[in-house]
Chains A and B, each alone.
Chain A
Amino acid sequence: MAEMDTSSGGSHKKGPGVKKSKKMSTRVDLTPMVDLGFLLITFFIFTTTMSLPTTMNLFLPKDTDKPEEQNKIKDNSALTILLGNDNNVFYYEGMLDNANVSANFKSSNFGGGEDGIRNIILRKKANTDEKDFMVVIKPSDECTYKNVVDILDEMTINVVKRYAMVDISDVEVQLIKATEAASSK
């Protein structure tokens, strides 16, 4: 408004008092726009590949009543895993006898710690003959679907070739209940 033309008089072609209009470039800086574009692209690439569901194959054994067709577990080479309430895991090795219940029946968890179920499977696997090694999974009525899938996944992770899902027996249900009651005190 109150500007004074201080430039030397010789250069301007327009008359005094007429403002020199600056020539503005028509170019826009596209860098932020490109940034945004690529950000969105990465977002869409990631979200499309991540949401693809995968599947776990499972084969069921045929139920058979004939004892000669049933597979027998060799003593001591089997690991039985019991799934209890509240993500609790219990296990015992070999057969469960009345004499050694308290010593043999132990509790574990889904964590990766020293007494986590993964370590126990690995330890048992290392200590037994590979062709005899067998894991028996017995989910109780209290455990969740997630627990079952997790333990099946654990079989894949630890490359256990022979495993089976078996119905739990009453004795084992009682044992789980007793152990859970004792640990919650």
Chain B
Amino acid sequence: MGRAKIPRKSTNIDMTAMCDVAFLLLSFFILTTKFKPAEAVSVSPPSSVSDKAAPESDIVLITIDKDGKVFLSMDNEEKKEYIANTIANEKGLKLDVQSFKKAQFIGVPFNKLTSFLQLPDDQRKGDNMPGIPCKDSTNNEMIEWLRIVRSAYMGQKINLLVKGDNTSKYPSFKNVITAFKKNDLLKFQIITNPEGVPVGSELYRQAQAGIKND
């Protein structure tokens, strides 16, 4: 007789809290996303199975664009100042050191460096620049640049990075390597896009077995 009445509950759930969380996360991700800075030299690197993240400080980056032109960029402003002064002394050039520190990349021969630094930032585009001469061993200014960079870092660790375009020809890469060797810089890293390890390959089996090799 006296059956307990089960109150009917509504199936509607209050979505407000969930919505709050969703948008909080959303705004977090939007704000933390670093947009790629507009690159002065546009390059699309090849992909590799390597999973090591690129270093973020003390970078000396050498970019090879699709026409095989070579550019140099650095991030440490103290070192850049030292490098600018050294070049000004050695080559007898009048350089705007502040502008050198601000410059995103260097992409001209030594004799055009002064006028290159006088250009406003937005006109320094890789497409219009001749690149650092690095054609063969007789006219390889990259060797000099790296020698000065090396002296600026003086025993400290340099993260030497090479970023090349998919379609650039091999000789320009070879000449960059020659410049490395000439300066005893025997360890460098190639920037690539990540790619999955092919299933069934030896590396894949090793990864499955938990073997890590460097």
Q: Interface residues, chain A, CB within 8 Å of chain B?
A: 27, 29-31, 33-34, 37-38, 40-41, 44-45, 47-48, 50-63, 83, 112, 118, 122, 139-150, 152-153, 156-159, 167
Contacts and interface: CB of A to CB of B under 8 A. Distances in A.
B42 interface: no
B202 A159 contact: yes
B187 A57 contact: yes
Nearest to A35: B22
Contacts, number: 164
Given A55-B191, A56-B189, A60-B187, 17 more contacts: A30-B18, A38-B22, A47-B33, A54-B51, A54-B193, A56-B48, A58-B187, A60-B186, A139-B170, A140-B170, A144-B168, A144-B170, A145-B172, A156-B48, A156-B203, A157-B197, A157-B203
Nearest to B23: A37
Interface residues of B, number: 61
A31 B15 contact: yes
Interface of B: 12, 15-16, 18-19, 22-23, 25-26, 29-30, 32-34, 36, 45-46, 48-55, 64, 161, 164-174, 177, 180-181, 184, 186-195, 197-198, 201-204, 206, 213-214
A48 B29 CA distance: 8
Given A33-B19, A37-B26, A149 B46 contact: yes
